[in-house]
Amino acid sequence: MQNRLYRLGVLASLALLAGCGAANTLGHQILGLNTGGSDTSGAVPSVFGYAVADEPQAALVGRDILNRGGNAVDAAAAEGFAQAVTLPSRGGLGGGGACLIKMPNADGKMQPPVMLEFPAGAPAANEGDRPAAVPLLARGLLAMQARYGQLPQSAVIVPAERLAGGAQISQPLESDLQVVGNALLADPQAAAIFAPGGQMLAEGATFQQPDLATTLENLRANGVSGLYAGTSAAQFAQAADAAGGGLTAQDLLDATPKYGMPETTQQNGYAVASLPAATAGTGEALPASASFMTLDKNGGAVICVTSMNNLFGTGRIAPGTGVLLAASPRTNPTPNLAAAMAYTTGSYAFRAAATGTGQNEADEAARIGLANALTGQNEPVPEPGRANIISCPGNVPGGEASCRASAAPDGNGLAIGGR
Number of domains composing the chain: 1
Summarize the confidence of residues 27-44 as an average pLDDT: 33
> How far does Cα 33 stand from its chain's mean position?
19
Which residues 6+ apart lie within 8 Å of 339 measured at CB? 98, 99, 100, 274, 275, 291, 293, 303, 304, 305, 353, 354, 355, 356, 366
* 3-state secondary structure (DSSP) of residue 137: helix
**Residue 45 to residue 20: CA distance in whole angstroms:** 7
- Whether the pTM exceeds 0.85: the reply is yes
Range of the domain at 89: 4-418
Give dist(CA 180, CA 189) in Å, integer: 15
Find the Cα–Cα–Cα–Cα dihedral 158, 162, 164, 165, rounded to 10°: 150
Q: Which of 23-32, 293-302, 384-393 has the lowest mean pLDDT?
A: 23-32
- How confident is the model over 155-169, as pLDDT tens digits? 999 999 999 999 999
| Kind plus residue range of the DSSP H or E element containing 332 | none
- The confidence score (pLDDT) of residue 44 equals 53
Lowest mean pLDDT among 18-27, 182-191, 198-207, 319-328: 18-27
What pLDDT does 127 receive? 84
Q: How far is CA 113 from CA 2, 22, 160, 303, in A?
A: 41, 33, 27, 10
Flag whether pLDDT at 32 surpasses 90: no
Q: Is 202 exposed, middle or buried (0-12, 13-18, 19+ CB in 10 A)?
A: exposed
Q: Measured between alpha carbons, how far is 85 from 79 in angstroms, rounded to an integer?
A: 10
| Dihedral pair phi/psi, residue 7, rounded to 5° | -60, -40
